[in-house]
């Protein structure tokens, strides 16, 4: 493992896309994550499962520096995320697409402008208004918007779309970054089941086609088992499951959601 760490720094490709060692995150007196080890290979599609408050979102936000980590190390796309300058951090973030539970679109702007915001990490200077972006950039954004099936809504205000459509705009915004990795934080938790399935299928299909690595938190066990190469379970800030999907039964996965681990139930203190 230490040899892998040495090689990971030199070139991004051969090493894992995400490598986390003994990660710990505290919010004041509260410990959100501790002792997390995780490795995600390039192109792999990993789903994080766990109850609300188990630390899934915190883990994702640590990986792109939205939350600074307290202890341990996290290396993403060959870059250690701790101790970076803000310029290096922005460079790394521009390579990572992030999908939010509440989409985080600017409601008053058109869909196309929202997609163009995805390019803000790689184009110089702040932009204001559609016409401040070059034609090539606009064309590229329109392609991504069409890919998620919303090309005809390019000039509609983002807040006039349904939830499922808004999340698809957010996916197009992430694609605009030309990401090597997508971190998705409960992307369908605020959608109805049918829309949720559609959006997840779209996201995973695009990522598989483009060989984008994905780390996604979900509550839908069936969707996870259908798409994920690997499933990781968190409970109370600790990893309780990490296995390829093929070797898992639905029962194993649902265990993650039990308040107490069946075998740990008697002493109970670890839960």
Partner 1 sequence: MKTAIKSAAEPAPIPGNQARASTNDALRPPFSREKAVLWVALAAIAGLTVLSARQIDVDLRALGGGFDDVANLLARMLPPELDDPPRVGELLVETLMMALLGTVLATFISIPLAFLAASNTTPHPAVHHAARMIITMCRAIPDLVFAVLFVRALGIGVLPGILALGLHSVGMMAKLFADAIEQIDEGPREAVRATGAGRLAELVSAVLPQVTPAWIGTFIYRVDINLRTSVVLGFVGAGGIGFALQDALRGLMYQSAMGIILIILLIIAAMEYLASGLRRTLLDPASDGAALPAMPGPSLRPPWTKGRTIRGLCAAATVTAVVVSVIYLNIDPLAPIKQFPDLVSVFGRLMPPSVEGVQNALLKAVGETLAIGLVATAAGAAAAIPVGILAARNVSPSVYTYHSARAVILAVRAIPELILAVIFVAAIGLGPMAGAMALGVGTIGFLGKLVADSVEEIPGGPLEAVRAAGGSWWDVLFAAVIPQTLPQLTGHWLYMLDVNIRTSTVLGIVGAGGIGFLLMESVRTLNFDIAGSIILIIFFIVFAIERLSAWIRRLFR
Query: What is the distance of C-alpha 166 from the center of its chain?
Result: 17
Nearer to partner 1, 146 or 270 (CB): 146
Nearer to partner 1, 55 or 118 (CB): 118
Q: Residue 198 CB: number of other CB atoms within 10 A?
A: 16
Smallest separation (angstroms) from partner 1 to the CB of 108:
5
Nearer to partner 1, 122 or 219 (CB): 122
Nearer to partner 1, 205 or 270 (CB): 205
The footprint of partner 1 (CB under 8 A) covers: 64, 66, 90-98, 100, 102-110, 112-113, 117-122, 125-128, 130-131, 135, 138-139, 142-143, 146-149, 151-152, 154-155, 170, 173-174, 177, 194, 197-198, 201-202, 205, 222-223, 225-226, 250
Q: In whole angstroms, what is the distance from residue 177 CA to residue 24 CA? A: 29
Smallest separation (angstroms) from partner 1 to the CB of 43:
20
181: Cα within 13 Å, side-chain hemisphere: 26
Task: Read off the DSSP letter of residue 51.
Answer: -
Nearer to partner 1, 34 or 81 (CB): 81
Smallest separation (angstroms) from partner 1 to the CB of 74:
16
Smallest separation (angstroms) from partner 1 to the CB of 265:
28
DSSP 3-state percent helix, strand, coil across the chain (nearest 5): 40, 25, 40
Q: In whole angstroms, what is the distance from residue 182 CA to residue 150 CA? A: 20
Smallest separation (angstroms) from partner 1 to the CB of 181:
12
Q: Sheet with 238-244: list strands edge to edge.
A: 96-99, 181-185, 213-217, 45-49, 230-235, 238-244
């Amino acid at each position: 493992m230490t040899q892998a760490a040495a090689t990971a720094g030199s070139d991004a490709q051969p090493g894992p896309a995400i490598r986390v060692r003994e990660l710990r995150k505290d919010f004041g007196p509260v410990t959100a994550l501790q002792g997390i080890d995780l490795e995600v290979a390039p192109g792999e599609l990993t789903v994080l499962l766990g109850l609300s408050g188990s630390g899934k979102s915190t883990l994702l936000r640590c990986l792109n520096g939205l939350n600074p980590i307290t202890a341990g190390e996290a290396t993403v796309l060959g870059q250690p995320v701790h101790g970076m300058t803000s310029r290096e951090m922005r460079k790394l973030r521009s390579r990572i697409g992030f999908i939010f539970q509440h989409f985080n679109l600017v409601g008053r702007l058109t869909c196309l402008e929202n997609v163009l915001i995805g390019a803000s990490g790689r184009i110089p200077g702040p932009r204001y208004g559609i016409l401040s972006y070059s034609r090539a950039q606009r064309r590229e954004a329109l392609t991504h918007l069409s890919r998620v099936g919303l090309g005809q809504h390019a000039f509609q205000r983002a807040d006039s779309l349904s939830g499922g459509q808004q999340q698809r705009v957010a996916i197009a915004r992430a694609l605009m970054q030309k990401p090597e990795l997508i971190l998705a934080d409960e992307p369908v938790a605020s959608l109805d089941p049918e829309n949720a399935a559609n959006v997840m299928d779209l996201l995973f299909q695009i990522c598989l086609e483009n060989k984008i690595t994905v780390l996604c938190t979900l509550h839908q066990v069936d969707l996870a088992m259908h798409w994920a190469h690997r499933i990781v379970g968190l409970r109370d800030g600790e990893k309780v499951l990490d296995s390829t999907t093929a070797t898992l039964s639905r029962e194993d996965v649902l265990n993650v959601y039990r308040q107490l681990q069946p075998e740990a139930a008697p002493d109970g203190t670890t839960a």
